[in-house]
Amino acid sequence: MASLADLFSSGTLSQFLVGLSRTTILFIVSSGLTLILGVLRIPNLAHGSLYMIGAFLAYSVIHFLGDGTAAFWAALVIAPLVVAALGFLLERGFFSYLYEREHLMLLLLTFSFTLIIGDLVKLVWGAEYRSVTVPRVFQGSAEVFGLPLPYYNLFLLLIGPFIAVFLWLVVNKTKMGKIARAAAVDSEMVSAVGINVGWVFAFTFVLGCFLAGLGGALIAPMVNITLGMDHSLIMEAFLIVIMGGLGNIWGALLGSLIFGLTQSLGILVWPQFGIVFPYLAVVAVLVVRPKGLLRSTW
Amino acid sequence: MKNRHAALFLLLVLLAALPQFLPRFYTYIAAIVLLTGLLATSLNLAIGYGGIYQFHHAVFYGIGAYGTALMLTRGTMPAVFGFLAGPLASAALSLVMGLVCIRLSKLYFGMLQISLGSLVWATVYRWYSFTGGDDGIHGVPLPDAIASPQGSYYFTLAVAALSVFALYRIVRSPFGMTLQGIRDNPVRSEAIGVNVRLHQLAALVVAGFFGGVAGMLFVVVDTSVFPDMMFWTFSLEVLVMCLLGGMYTFFGPFAGAAAIVLLRVFASVYTPYWSLLLGVLLTLVIIFLPDGVAGYLVRRLRGREGVRA
Amino acid sequence: MKTRSLALAGFVLVVFLAASAQAADTIKVGLVDTYTGPATAFTNDVLDGFKLAVEKINAKGGVLGRKIAYITRDDKFKPDIGLTMAKELILKENVDLLMGTINSATALAVSDLCRKEKVPFLVTFSKSDKITGEKGHRYVFSMNENTEMAGRATARVLAKKPFVKYWIAGDDYEYGHAIANGVFDHLKKLNPKAQLLGQSWWKVGETDFTPYITQILAAKPDFVIVATGGAGMVNFQKAAQSTGFNKRVPFYQHTGIELSTLAPQGQNAPEGVYGTANYLFYYPNTKQNQAFADEFRKAYNRYPKSGALYGYMAAQFIAKSYEKAGKVDKEKFIDALEGMSLDSPVGRMEMRACDHQVALPMFFGVTKKSPKQEFLVASDILSIPGKDYMPTCEEIRKARAK
């Protein structure tokens, strides 16, 4: 155990910043998940699989365009769009017929999608590890209190708030977003006033999938892209969403912050057991506030 | 009703005769089917009859297995205590986790259970000196009477049959009826003076106990335990078994478990893409037979009312 | 994409045919291994190396007039499935021996099964030292190095370096801890001045290492032992590269110089990383090694990694043992394999009789850019002979007596 004085040493702030950048990916993925949960009421386990596809697609795009910085930007746009298109097909092809089903059924349906997608990814990209290098502009790292903070992490730090604001604008300032919010509360009422709820649902689902794909594309340069990368992430995303309150985007942000920060600051407190802190945080939150921190749309 | 009892009795006789004419490998698979069937049936008490989102049932399976394996490898007491220790540990854990989770509803309940279960899993996974860590425990010594392949099969058959029978009686008891009443209308049950939480908690403990029995049987059949047994993905697989067979029938989950175990063993012999196969099959069942295969058959046989019986 | 799926379909067909076309006069080898998920990056090499050797052996007429046939089963990296598949191969397919698997829990479970069923089991790739150590027995053999051996080999090299303050870090599972402790415990014996400053462990599959890296740098160690496995190898090196970790403090990873770690990163892998490996296709620069690398590359259009060596040599050991035994008999096979030594692409390899652990050289090197390759290679390579870094037979006896 570190002493209290150590906790306020120079490492703490840099650890804090690092925790924040880790939060970004968690937030992007879990905000998509919470949108789909809140509006469509689908506990989408396949969200992690879409994130994995996003990462593999980013690899393919960057590889195809020749590994430059431009290729990276292209991948950030193309990969999420393709994933969104895939989401559109899933929504129109399957979910649109199944909204009345029990959540448990939908959960298991999405579980079977994860099985299918896992094998399809293996068929398309094979089992070898894939890797994308950090784009040239973001290579290297900045000094924060004498400790390195990679430029790519800084970039993620900037992207996070940008996405949060973007989502806030979409949900609160666009007509589609307003309808979606209304539909989340009472979809029958919305269709009663003559609005086609089906398309609102499709839009929300596609937006959620876009975010999953974006998360995958953003994580690609930091990790080894492999089958199975969907597994740990989807569980974390679900816990974040539950912690924040189902369907609440700000809840997803808060949950991601708690998850990311308890993990990176937990390391300072108790290095060997840093891993358990996020789970303890979830347990603590749910014991105190059984419906999550912020207001749920359920 | 009489016909049904006769059919069940015949099935038991058939199962008892199995090792006499089946090759050893199939006897082993039959034992795995039996214990996995018990696991799915025990989960169904919570999720099908209780309507409780028991998302991490595998934890109780795993603790049952670990409790037994640890008692048999490290304990000095007679083996019988080992066989009891595992399921009792599962029941105790189920009670503790239930007390924490029970206030929450549906998805929140399920996710909190996954969180707590993951902590249990992580402890088993890393407490190397006690649980063997991710390597697990292998070569668990068994009493001579059940160490042979036939012996372990008969032990599994006897214990699984008794457990399934016990679960059947529980489902049909006044307690089981109340539980189903709570599932269908918790508000009304509360209003007529039923202690909803107490009933749900009791269902969780019973489900946990029999999940632990299934875990104990796994030790008898495979003489090994590993933390993978209690990873959350396996919990989902058990859920899938219940769903595939039919959650609102008593024997559906058992049939679902049998189907998945057999598919896993025999399909993977022919293709490395059996997940794909399972995924497609599941998708079709969920879309076209939401009550599961057994549920569908029951409905066809007796009309709509029979399904929820 | 199309060619890949065609190739896969072809592969499935071949496996299927291989499984169904068994005449009575074949030697049947059963392979239980992980053929789905990330571990396939390693296991496919074992299988391909094995196939390469078997095809050659069969083309020359096989062994004792019999062809070697093999059947593969996927354990999906899950011990319970692995155990079921192993039982299927033993009880239903009546294989003469088993090979596999990368998952240590599965390997240990199958090893216990093989002890009871009296079927020889050649472990390929699982690195648990328990397999031939405390849990070893007559029917199990290891075709590769293990955590204990990697620890000893590395400690020998590090003991001669001037580092004093060490930090250990790694994937929080048995393999990670075993490697890290293996290195540090032996280092402490060889260099009593070595001290442990601290340690950090992260969950398997961790994607963001930056918090751990900042924590380690803040403590200012002289040297860091990083015990990652699987996908963690590349993930950590990527993080090291983007934070400049490797430039601030030297670190070591077992298999850190291996192709499986360096090839995916291309020219962007960190330089100056210390690592060990059992196989490098470019070292030793001998005729045998070149011939093997060329042959493998011709057959599969990629360079062989250490798994290829294990699979290739397993087939050779199997063929030679049956030849020596004079008949296809499980007990005779074991007697013949004990103490056998064969030429391999990396030099002589011996199956030690006392513990059934193969002795093979370990290469210690430092990552460096190469003008000839699209990826980094190992430089300043030291070759440590097998017998120098294996536990003694006496130590094995003690471990097994426990």
Residue C76 Cα, gap to closest chain A Cα (Å): 11
Indicate the residue type of B184.
Answer: D
pLDDT tens sequence across C123-139: 999 999 999 999 999 99
In a domain, C66, yes or no: yes
- At C127, which amino acid appears? K
* Three-state DSSP state, B139: coil
Reply yes or no on whether the pLDDT at A298 is more than 70.
Answer: no
C74 and C86 co-located in one domain = yes
- pLDDT digit string (tens) for A140-155? 888 777 777 888 888 9
Which member of A14, A25, A127 has the closest CB to residue C44? A127
Q: With contacts defined as CB-CB under 8 Å, which chain A residues touch B290? A: 101, 105
The H-assigned helical ranges of B173-307 are 174-184, 186-191, 196-222, 232-245, 252-270, 274-288, 292-302
Q: Tell me: the pLDDT tens digits for C370-389?
A: 998 999 999 999 999 998 99
Q: Is residue C402 part of a domain?
A: no
* B107 in contact with A, Cβ within 8 Å: yes
Which band of pLDDT confidence, cut at 50, 70 and 90, is reported for residue C7?
Answer: low
A and C: number of Cβ contacts within 8 A: 140
pLDDT band at B47 (very low <50, low <70, confident <90, very high): very high
- For CA atoms B64, B67, B73, B79, give the dihedral sign: negative
Number of domains in chain C: 2
Question: How far is residue A281's CA from residue A288's CA, in Å, rounded to a whole number?
Answer: 11
Q: Are residues C87 and C19 in the same domain?
A: yes
pLDDT at A2 over 60: no
Which residues from C are below 8 Å from B126, CB to CB?
A: 172-173
The position carrying tokens 């290829």 is C308
For residue B222, the chain C residues in CB contact (below 8 A) are 80, 83, 109
State yes or no: pLDDT of C236 exceeds 80.
yes
Is the pLDDT reported for residue A162 higher than 60? yes
Q: Which residues of A touch C44 (CB under 8 A)?
A: 127
Q: Please say if the pLDDT value at position B169 is more than 50.
A: yes
86-125 in chain A: CB under 8 A from chain C: 119, 122-124
Residue found by looking up tokens 């046989």 in the block: B301
Closest CA of chain B from A245, distance in Å: 9
E strands, A43-138, where? 130-131
The pLDDT score that the predictor gives to residue C4 is 52
Task: Kindly list the partner chains of chain A, i.e. chains with 3 or more CB atom pairs below 8 Å.
Answer: B, C
Q: What is the DSSP letter of B103?
A: T
What is the pLDDT, as a whole number, of residue C367?
A: 95
Asked if B135 lies within 8 A of C128 by C-beta distance, the reply is yes
User: How much is the average pLDDT of C189-196?
Assistant: 93
The number of beta carbons lying within 10 Å of the beta carbon of residue C303 is: 18
Q: Give Cα B306 to chain centroid, integer Å.
A: 24
Cα A250-A254-A256 angle, rounded to 5 deg:
115
Smallest CA–CA separation between A290 and chain B, in Å?
6
Does residue B254 or residue B149 have the better pLDDT? B254
Q: Which residue type occupies C34?
A: T
| One-character DSSP codes across C133-199 | TTT--TTEEE-S--HHHHHHHHHHHHTTS---EEEEEEESSHHHHHHHHHHHHHHHHH-TT-EEEEE
Give mean pLDDT, residues A67-90: 93
Q: Which residue of A has its CA nearest to B122?
A: A276
Contact residues, chain B, for A246 at CB < 8 Å? 107
Q: Is residue C165 within 8 Å of C221, Cβ to Cβ?
A: yes
- Given a contact cutoff of 8 angstroms between Cβ atoms, the answer to whether C153 and C384 are in contact is yes
Using CA coordinates, name the residue in chain B closest to C110.
B138
For residue C99, what pLDDT is reported? 96
B228 and C80 within 8 Å at the Cβ level: the answer is yes
Q: What are C243-302's pLDDT values in tens digits?
A: 889 999 999 999 999 999 999 888 889 999 999 999 999 989 999 999 999 999 999 999
**What are the sequence ranges of the domains in chain A?**
4-288
Bridge pairing between strands C358-359 and C347-351? antiparallel
By CA distance, what is B240's nearest residue in A? Answer: A108
Q: State mean pLDDT over B187-207.
A: 92
List Cα–Cα distances, A82 to A56, A75, A85, C260, in angstroms. 11, 10, 5, 30
**Rounded Cα distance, B26 and C45, in Å:** 32
Angle (CA) C124-C125-C126 rounded to 5° is 105
Structure letter (DSSP) for residue C357? B
Candidate from A87-96, A168-177, B38-47 with smallest mean pLDDT: A168-177
- pLDDT tens digits along A21-53: 778 899 999 999 999 988 888 889 999 999 999
Query: Least CB-CB distance to B136: which of C74, C79, C88?
Result: C79
- Report residue C9 as tokens: 């379909």
In a shared domain, residues C119 and C211:
no
- Domain membership of residue C226 as a residue range: 148-277+361-389
Q: Percent of chain C having pLDDT more than 70? A: 94
Query: How far off is chain A from C104, nearest CA to CA, in Å?
Result: 19
- From chain A, the residues in CB contact with B51 under 8 A are none
From its phi and psi, is residue A228 left (phi > 0), alpha (psi between -120 and 50) or beta?
left
Q: Round the average pLDDT of chain B to a whole number and report it.
A: 89
The reply to whether residue A128 touches residue C202, judged by beta carbons under 8 angstroms, is no
pLDDT in the model for residue A10: 57
Residue C361 is predicted with a pLDDT of 94
C202 and C334 part of one domain: no
Interval A100-105 mean pLDDT: 83
CATH of the domain at C263: 3.40.50.2300
Share of chain B above pLDDT 90, in %: 52
B165 vs C37, higher pLDDT: B165
pLDDT band of residue A11 (cuts 50, 70, 90) is low
Q: Are residues C382 and C264 part of one domain?
A: yes
Residues C162 and C99 placed together within one structural domain of the fold: no
Mean pLDDT of chain C: 89
Contact B272 C74 (CB under 8 A): yes
| E-only strand ranges, chain A | 130-131, 141-144, 147-150, 224-225
Rounded (5°) CA angle B147-B148-B153:
95
Are C99 and C244 part of one and the same domain?
no
Contact residues, chain A, for B105 at CB < 8 Å: 290
CA distance C370 to chain B (A): 38
Whether residue C97 contacts residue C26, with contact meaning beta carbons closer than 8 Å, is answered with no
Contact A115 B275 (CB under 8 A): yes
A18 inside 8 A of chain C by CB: yes
In a domain, C396, yes or no: no
Note whether B122 contacts A: Cβ–Cβ < 8 A: yes
Whether residues C25 and C99 share a domain: the answer is: yes
Q: Are C200 and A229 inside 8 Å of each other by CB?
A: no
- Does C87 lie in the same domain as C18? yes
| A149 CB within 8 Å of a chain C CB | yes
Q: Does residue C395 fall inside a structural domain?
A: no
Query: Which residue of C lies nearest to A132 if distances are taken between CA atoms?
Result: C265
**Contact residues, chain C, for A124 at CB < 8 Å:** 1, 4-5
- Residue A277 C-alpha, separation from nearest chain B C-alpha, in angstroms: 10
What residues of B are in contact with residue C75 (Cβ under 8 Å)?
A: none
- Indicate the residue of B100, B112, B279 with minimum beta-carbon distance to A115: B279
Contact B139 C112 (CB under 8 A): yes
pLDDT attached to residue B306: 43
CB–CB of C303/C293 below 8 Å?
Answer: yes
Interface residue of B130, B135, B264 to substitute, partner C, most C CBs within 10 Å: B135
Same domain, C194 and C317: no
d(C-alpha C113, C-alpha C117), whole Å: 6
The answer to whether residue B171 scores a pLDDT higher than 90 is yes
- Kindly state whether B119 is in contact with chain A, defined as any CB-CB distance less than 8 angstroms: yes
Checking if the pLDDT of B177 tops 90, the result is yes
Q: For residue C115, what pLDDT band results from cuts at 50, 70 and 90?
A: very high
Does the CB of B104 have a partner CB in chain A at under 8 Å?
Answer: yes
The reported pLDDT for the residue numbered B309 is 39
B97-109 per-position pLDDT tens digit: 999 898 888 888 9
- Better pLDDT: B262 or A3: B262
- Partner residue facing A286 (CB), from B47, B104, B122: B104
Q: According to CATH, what is the number of the domain A4-288?
A: 1.10.3470
Interface touch A116/B283, C-beta < 8 Å:
yes
The answer to whether B290 contacts chain A (CB < 8 Å) is yes
Cβ–Cβ below 8 Å for C35 and B224: no
Q: Is the pLDDT of residue A212 over 90?
A: yes
